[in-house]
């Protein structure tokens, strides 16, 4: 067996920091959002510029070592780090250039949604983005990108105008509707399969200076009624109404009455992409569900809406997630979900029903790799807990949701929301037709599967 050495000549070509196990900072640099992941790369390259990305792709090709790409490090399956391979950390790449007149922005691959929103909202503009500020724009956009603005403006990837990509053969190529349109099609939903994206150009939209946002909570014994009423409310809601219904454990926060803290509750996250006075009118039916135990819905800037879920999702917790698309939220699914939630740990874990529709469904299914635009809801079962002692019970709880959701789900669902990986799983997520088109694209851009540490679309050569 040949031993691959990464000597100083191999590593001296980078302008950014290069860290091996002996270097201070190595342990911090290999850490990801999900504490379940504990991988030790042979080398971590912290890219300083596009040249470093091209050099890292060349090094991966020359050595054949596993090659992991990290944007914001939020992928729950932990593909952004690898054992005994090369980890390319893009997080130092932070440049953001907003063009307010054209309503566009170009952001580098290490930017997260907190940084992105701060830059664009300075001009009263935004695009559909992740609901937790520390999530990276890179993995989220490539994997579809779901956010509070999606019923008005489509998914994040629907707002992508172009991207600069380093392909497996080391070329820097531009992908847009006009240049390399096949690659551009696959980048929007197909994940990190086709190259390393160094920057993303997005379409921006005006957001009101203040929106209405927040959360309503009721005791758990009202869950059946609240979920049914929320379903009816969303059936007639205009695109500006966004949010989700949630089964969760009430946090020990000052706004929660002491008797509910640490108890299972049912909640509605309510966001209106509208001026607060219009939002009040839109939310009137929600408040008619009966007096909530907690009502912290109020006017706030878009950046505060984007931070609403941050306190419940700090880095360093243990995570295992599943998600599926469902065409409807029927009574049987509601009742089974409530039974499942009764067995949920008193942790950060949560079950979410997140309404889709609006602009998502109006965009042509052919326009990019995103599947199942007609789905009405994303159902999430999110395990998130604080200590290894809870891991066995939490993992078993999320796994048991798989058979529960099976009869209700349709093909599709962003791969970004799932911890599970594997060819069968990826194929089902895209459906046969789109999967075949993605395999052909993989054959063209990465026939040797250099980019395989991801929700992998295997090229034909790796299938025989």
Ligand X SMILES: Cc1cc2nc3c(=O)[nH]c(=O)nc-3n(C[C@H](O)[C@H](O)[C@H](O)COP(=O)(O)OP(=O)(O)OC[C@H]3O[C@@H](n4cnc5c(N)ncnc54)[C@H](O)[C@@H]3O)c2cc1C
Residues between 292 and 321 with contacts to ligand X, criterion CB under 6 A: 313
Q: Is 267 in the site for ligand X (CB under 6 A)?
A: no
Classify residue 148 as exposed, middle or buried by CB count within 10 Å of its CB (0-12, 13-18, 19+).
buried
The candidate with the shortest Cα–Cα distance to 189, out of 435, 378, 381, 406, is 435
Q: Is 138 in the site for ligand X (CB under 6 A)?
A: yes
Q: Is 248 in the site for ligand X (CB under 6 A)?
A: no
- For residue 291, the minimal CB distance to ligand X (Å) is 29
Residue indicated by tokens 């108890």: 263
Residue of 82, 140, 211, 439 interacting with ligand X (CB under 6 A): 140
Rounded CA-CA distance 25/147 in Å is: 33
Residues 6+ apart with CB under 8 A from 278: 240, 272
Q: Is 69 in the site for ligand X (CB under 6 A)?
A: yes
Residue indicated by tokens 């209700």: 408
Residues between 74 and 113 with contacts to ligand X, criterion CB under 6 A: 74-76, 79-80, 90, 109
Rg of the chain over CA atoms, in angstroms? 22
Rounded CA-CA distance 113/110 in Å is: 10
Question: Which one, 33 or 218, has the nearer CB to ligand X?
Answer: 33
**Segment contacting ligand X by CB under 6 A, of 55-63, 140-148, 218-226, 434-442:** 140-148
Question: Which one, 191 or 299, has the nearer CB to ligand X?
Answer: 191
Question: Which one, 197 or 270, has the nearer CB to ligand X?
Answer: 197
- Sign of CA pseudo-dihedral 256, 259, 262, 264: negative
The candidate with the shortest Cα–Cα distance to 10, out of 61, 78, 48, is 61
β-pair partners for 327: none
**Segment contacting ligand X by CB under 6 A, of 39-47, 65-73, 279-287, 428-436:** 65-73
**Segment contacting ligand X by CB under 6 A, of 225-233, 267-275, 372-380, 414-422:** 414-422
Using Cβ positions, the residue closest to ligand X within the complex turns out to be 139
Residue of 70, 373, 418, 427 interacting with ligand X (CB under 6 A): 70
- For residue 311, the minimal CB distance to ligand X (Å) is 11
How many angstroms separate the Cα of 234 from the Cα of each of 48, 243, 297, 381?
A: 46, 10, 17, 20
Beta strands in 188-302, from DSSP E residues, in sequence order: 196-203, 205-206, 211-219, 241-249, 264-272, 294-295, 298-300
How many angstroms separate the Cα of 179 from the Cα of each of 107, 164, 451?
A: 19, 11, 22
Question: Which one, 192 or 299, has the nearer CB to ligand X?
Answer: 192
Beta strands in 112-240, from DSSP E residues, in sequence order: 125-126, 160-166, 172-176, 196-203, 205-206, 211-219
Residue of 55, 57, 65, 132 interacting with ligand X (CB under 6 A): 132
Count the residues of the shown chain that bind ligand X, applying the rule CB under 6 A.
36
Residues between 5 and 64 with contacts to ligand X, criterion CB under 6 A: 33
Half-sphere exposure of 446 (CA within 13 A, CB side): 28
- For residue 114, the minimal CB distance to ligand X (Å) is 12
Report whether 443 contacts 459 (CB < 8 A).
yes
Residues between 174 and 213 with contacts to ligand X, criterion CB under 6 A: 191-192, 196-197
Q: Is 157 in the site for ligand X (CB under 6 A)?
A: no
Residue of 66, 85, 114, 145 interacting with ligand X (CB under 6 A): 145
- For residue 39, the minimal CB distance to ligand X (Å) is 11
Question: Which one, 121 or 416, has the nearer CB to ligand X?
Answer: 416
Binding footprint of ligand X on the chain (CB under 6 A): 33, 69-76, 79-80, 90, 109, 130-132, 135-136, 138-140, 142-147, 191-192, 196-197, 313, 414, 416-417, 454
């Amino acid at each position: 067996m040949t031993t691959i050495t990464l000597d100083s000549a191999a590593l001296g070509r980078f302008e950014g920091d290069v860290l091996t196990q002996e270097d201070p900072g190595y342990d911090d640099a290999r850490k990801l959002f999900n504490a379940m992941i504990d991988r030790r790369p042979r080398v971590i390259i912290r890219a300083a510029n596009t040249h470093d990305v091209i050099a890292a792709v060349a090094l991966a090709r020359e050595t054949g070592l596993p090659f992991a790409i990290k944007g914001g490090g939020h992928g729950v399956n932990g593909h952004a780090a690898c054992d005994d391979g090369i980890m390319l950390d893009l997080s130092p790449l932070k440049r953001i250039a907003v063009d307010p007149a054209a309503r566009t922005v170009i952001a580098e691959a290490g930017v997260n949604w907190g940084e992105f929103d701060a830059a664009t909202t300075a001009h009263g503009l935004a695009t559909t983005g992740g609901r937790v500020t520390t999530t990276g724009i890179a993995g989220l956009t490539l994997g579809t990108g779901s956010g509070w603005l999606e019923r008005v403006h489509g998914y994040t990837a629907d707002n992508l105008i172009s991207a600069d990509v380093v392909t497996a053969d080391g070329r820097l190529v531009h992908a847009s509707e006009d240049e390399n349109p096949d690659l551009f099609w696959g980048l929007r939903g197909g994940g990190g399969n086709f190259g390393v994206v160094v920057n993303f150009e997005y379409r921006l939209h005006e957001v009101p200076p203040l929106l209405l946002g927040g959360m309503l909570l009721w005791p758990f014994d009202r869950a059946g009624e609240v979920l049914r009423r929320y379903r009816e409310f969303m059936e007639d809601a205009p695109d500006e109404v966004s949010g989700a219904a949630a089964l969760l454990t009430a946090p020990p926060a000052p706004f929660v009455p002491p008797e509910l803290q640490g108890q299972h509750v049912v909640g509605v996250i309510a966001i209106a992409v509208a001026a607060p006075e219009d939002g009040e009118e839109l939310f009137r039916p929600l408040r008619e569900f009966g007096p909530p135990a907690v009502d912290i819905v109020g006017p706030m800037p878009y950046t505060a809406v984007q931070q609403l879920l941050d306190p419940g999702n700090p880095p360093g917790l243990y995570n295992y997630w599943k998600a599926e698309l469902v065409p409807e939220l029927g009574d049987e699914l509601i009742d089974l979900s409530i039974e499942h939630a009764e067995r949920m740990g008193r942790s950060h874990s949560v079950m979410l029903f997140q309404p889709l529709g609006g602009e998502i469904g109006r965009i042509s299914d052919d326009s990019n790799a995103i599947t199942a635009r007609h789905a009405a809801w994303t159902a999430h079962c999110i395990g998130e807990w604080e200590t290894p002692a809870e891991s066995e019970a939490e993992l078993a709880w999320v796994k048991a949701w798989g058979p529960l959701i099976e009869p209700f789900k349709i093909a599709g669902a962003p791969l970004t929301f799932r911890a599970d990986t594997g060819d069968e799983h990826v194929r089902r997520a895209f459906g046969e037709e789109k999967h075949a088109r993605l395999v052909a694209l993989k054959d063209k851009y990465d026939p040797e599967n250099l980019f395989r540490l991801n929700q992998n679309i295997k090229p034909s050569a790796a299938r025989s």
